[in-house]
Amino acid sequence: MNLFPKLVVDDASRAVEFYTTVLGLQETERFETPDEKIVHVRLVHGDVQLTLKDEDAVDAGPTALGLDRSPVIINLDVADPDAVASRMEAGGATVIYPVEDHPYGRMGRLRDPFGHVWIVRRLDGG
């Protein structure tokens, strides 16, 4: 079984640039409509997969829905959450909670430029 999210965004080309630059993902496939709207793009890093598509009449992203909160939170386990959060913020993400130490590890929460919420974390122990 292979489970991975497909994020609906208001500008998939810009999102590809953000996720490849900030998170180091590599684009491996892309399908577009004749008017160059992305219906599917796959980004990978090792076993991690993230897919994206442009908003359309069927699928609306968080910004089109006017959401200031997200019903989905994406967890990203990394060795250096401070560095990843800094790159995300420099790329246009908004800090919801800064990266801080917690009893279970170090983590912070950010909203990417497309409205999706991410937790960048390094868990310590258990």
Q: 19 near 7, Cβ under 8 Å?
A: no
- Is 19 inside a domain boundary? yes
Q: What is the pLDDT of residues 17-59, one digit of tens each?
A: 999 999 999 999 999 999 999 999 999 999 999 999 999 989 9
Domain membership of residue 38 as a residue range:
6-123
pLDDT score of 71 more than 90? no
Instruction: Collect contacts of 97-104 with beta carbons under 8 A, ≥24 apart.
Output: none
Ramachandran angles phi, psi of 92, nearest 5°:
115, 0
- Is 53 inside a domain boundary? yes
How many domains does one find in the chain? 1
- Is 1 inside a domain boundary? no
- The CATH number of the domain where 110 resides is what? 3.10.180.10
- Is 17 inside a domain boundary? yes
Q: What is the pTM (predicted TM-score) of this model?
A: 0.89
Q: Which residue has the higher pLDDT, 102 or 69?
A: 102
Q: Which residue has the higher pLDDT, 89 or 65?
A: 89
Average pLDDT over residues 108-123: 96
- Is 14 inside a domain boundary? yes
Q: How far is CA 31 from the centre of its chain?
A: 19
